[in-house]
Amino acid sequence: MQAVRTAQIEERLNGLVNLLQASGELPPSHSPLATLSDAAAREQSSMNQDTPSASGSTPSYQPYAHTWTIPETYNCQAIPSCICRPMPGHAPPPPDSDDVLLGLYRTQMQPVYPFVIIPPHMSAAELRASKPFLMSAIRMVTSFRSLRSMSAQLSRLMGHISDHVLIRSAKSLELLQGILVITGWYQYHCMMHAQLNNLLALAGSLIGDIGLNCPPGVREQARLMVAKPPEPSGRTNEERRALLGVWFMTCNVSISFNRIDPMKYTAYIQDCLKVLEKDEEYESDITLLHLVKVQRLMVRIFELTSKDRGEEDMPGIPTAPMSAYVAALQNEIDTLHANLPPSLQNDSIFMTYLGTARLRLYEPPAVDLTLVRSLAESMTTGQRGQTTPLDKLYQSSAALRNWFDTWLSVPATSYFRLPLCNMSQLVYAITMLGRWAQLATPRTMYEGGTPMPSGSEGSPYGSAARIASNELSESQALTRPINCDQQSPCRDRDLIQAVSALQSQLQSQPGLTINIPEILSTMCSRCEQVNLIFQQTSPEEEKTDNNIWTFSALKIRITRVKLERWAELVAAAAENTSRLPKAEATPRWRGSYPQTPAPGVSMGQGPAGLVSSGLAQDQTQIQNFFDSTSWTADLLDGVDPTIWFDGYLDWGSMMMNSTGNAMGPVEVPQIQIRN
């Protein structure tokens, strides 16, 4: 009888043990989870072997034990003509040792993106041993001297993320921090096509799974249903920075490209800010604090001015006019600026954030036919106490000039370390500059204006770079149909005439003038200067590869040509409606490029009365860059800098949002650009 009772007790104990094991409160002696842990340990050991040895104190670079490659399947579904589709095959190793790259991250990149802090006492070997994935992410973003190496490293990192997060269900602060570092400088891999949105969504998911989005504590259902729920440890500042970093990046990408929803700003996020401000653990936490404040302000401005926001007005409840909200937000910008520490007030990179907030508050109006006519008809009219359309134009003009003055004060040598957030702001500012140019910049501004930098054999459009980097993809050379009558140009003549009438009124307002040619020329020169630095410091085998800087310079050149063509169309509309005799009419546009011929080049008259000068030379350079792609006037139609980092000639979606179909769709062959 005693034996039977003992057996029953043992059976109950076994059942209880099994239940505890199933609930995770009692680790099993041997389970598949242990096998996975062993496999993870082996992979971590392998990952450590992939990194340069830190056992020696020599700063010289130690070669890797294996070769780096870019797989055939890497981003194979992305647009072939984009920088996110590098040519598969062998890739060089990281350009420097881990100690050098970690030092570069800590001194150059961490201050402008203070969401993942590496303690100053931690060496690369210690970080590699404790957080190998984070060290690999830092190694990748600091390898910008070798873009092919960056692509190969990112391919391996994405494989690690998919295996550990999606297959093994791993959840850790290290993974979250690594993803934050990867997305922080994702402009080197394309902001539009690759994995940016997926990585940010995954980071938001990890925030919830780890429990960083709320104060630490045992949830109510766990207290009720778990026998002995473990008490969570307190929140660390490292975790708080990760939460704030995910919020910051998600909101920045959301309002910049309008493809994902922003992360909600909660009371707990506000509490995390207060703790970091109180602790003052690192000097960079002050920068983080103000970055989050400015980003939150930009989100609120975006929600106020967005056309997609829902109408929440309730009948019978009065609401404040838009001008009241604008004044309140402007007061917040001024207060935030006044409370900045001197170090940030003198930091041009940080001040671009405040400039972007101001530009979003006073962004130029869209070039819409109804709106342009309304502006022309009611330029100085308005209700008492409210701003007039002319006042708003002056505010937009001042905000644009302020933004580019601040941006152009950033040294070109600092462009390498700028995070994606700053680059997305550049995309937005270029978009607004193009909108303003179409609305208020007459042809006379381009005549005799600052010319674009002249090309040379060493330029990014030289034949050597083109032959080495560009190939036409005959199998994928598709054309897009033209959606209008082939006999007539695809132009919204009414819009062009309306803009012409508006510009004739704005000629009496010199305070609205923005030197568009000078800004674009300086921006192009900066990009080509950065490319020259890149060429001087890159490995020999990568000196002919296209990169983000040659790409940006080319985009600016094409933007300049398109804007000048638009100015010509508007000027032609004004001339056609003018009652002056032809003899008294304004001479036709000759472009802002130098009107002196190059040695051995004839200044012949081109088609349609255009002089074959610098403008034609610039078109020829772009033509040479695209090899056998025909360079026709159709390619000048439309401007949309929001696809700044899209494919080199992905002009099918190039119609400017601010003009609708005013400049018409075009027929464009797709080109495959290989890096």
Please give the Cα distance from 343 to 346 (Å, whole number).
Answer: 5
- The answer as to whether 460 is a domain residue is yes
- Please determine, for residue 343, whether its predicted confidence score (pLDDT) is greater than 50: yes
- The answer as to whether 440 is a domain residue is yes
pLDDT recorded at residue 632: 34
Which amino acid, 186? Y
pLDDT recorded at residue 591: 38
The answer to whether the CB of 272 falls within 8 A of the CB of 296 is no
**Tally of domains in the chain:** 1
- Please determine, for residue 100, whether its predicted confidence score (pLDDT) is greater than 80: yes
Alpha helices by DSSP H, listed for 339-388, are 342-345, 348-361, 369-377
Nearest to 415 by CA among 556, 579, 533, 582: 533
pLDDT recorded at residue 5: 66
For the chain, percent of residues with pLDDT exceeding 70? 64
What pTM did the predictor assign?
0.77
- Please determine, for residue 495, whether its predicted confidence score (pLDDT) is greater than 60: yes
User: What tokens were used for 387?
Assistant: 């701003």
Nearest to 460 by CA among 594, 593, 624, 643: 624
Find the mean pLDDT for residues 180-190: 93
- Please determine, for residue 600, whether its predicted confidence score (pLDDT) is greater than 60: no
- Please determine, for residue 538, whether its predicted confidence score (pLDDT) is greater than 90: no
- Please determine, for residue 594, whether its predicted confidence score (pLDDT) is greater than 50: no
- Please determine, for residue 622, whether its predicted confidence score (pLDDT) is greater than 60: no
- Please determine, for residue 60, whether its predicted confidence score (pLDDT) is greater than 80: no
Which amino acid, 496? I
| Lowest-confidence segment of 117-126, 215-224, 276-285, 563-572 by average pLDDT | 215-224
Q: Residue 8 — very low, low, confident or very high, per pLDDT cuts 50/70/90?
A: low
Find the mean pLDDT for residues 51-74: 55
pLDDT recorded at residue 17: 57
Q: Residue 647 — very low, low, confident or very high, per pLDDT cuts 50/70/90?
A: very low
Find the mean pLDDT for residues 21-29: 51
Q: 642 is in which domain, residue-wise? A: 407-581+613-673
Distance of CA 247 to the CA centre of its chain: 16
- Please determine, for residue 586, whether its predicted confidence score (pLDDT) is greater than 50: no
pLDDT recorded at residue 376: 82
| Range among 34-48, 196-210, 313-327, 520-534 with highest mean pLDDT value | 196-210
pLDDT recorded at residue 241: 98
DSSP H/E element including 225: helix 220-225
- The answer as to whether 562 is a domain residue is yes
- The answer as to whether 375 is a domain residue is no
- The answer as to whether 463 is a domain residue is yes
- The answer as to whether 637 is a domain residue is yes
- The answer as to whether 160 is a domain residue is no
- The answer as to whether 644 is a domain residue is yes
CB-based burial label for 200 (10 Å; 0-12, 13-18, 19+): buried
437-472 burial, b if ≥16 CB within 10 A, otherwise e? bbbbbbbebbbebbbbbebeeebbbbeebbeebbeb
- Please determine, for residue 443, whether its predicted confidence score (pLDDT) is greater than 90: no
Residues 118-171: tens digit of each pLDDT: 999 999 999 999 999 999 999 999 999 888 899 999 999 999 999 999 999 999
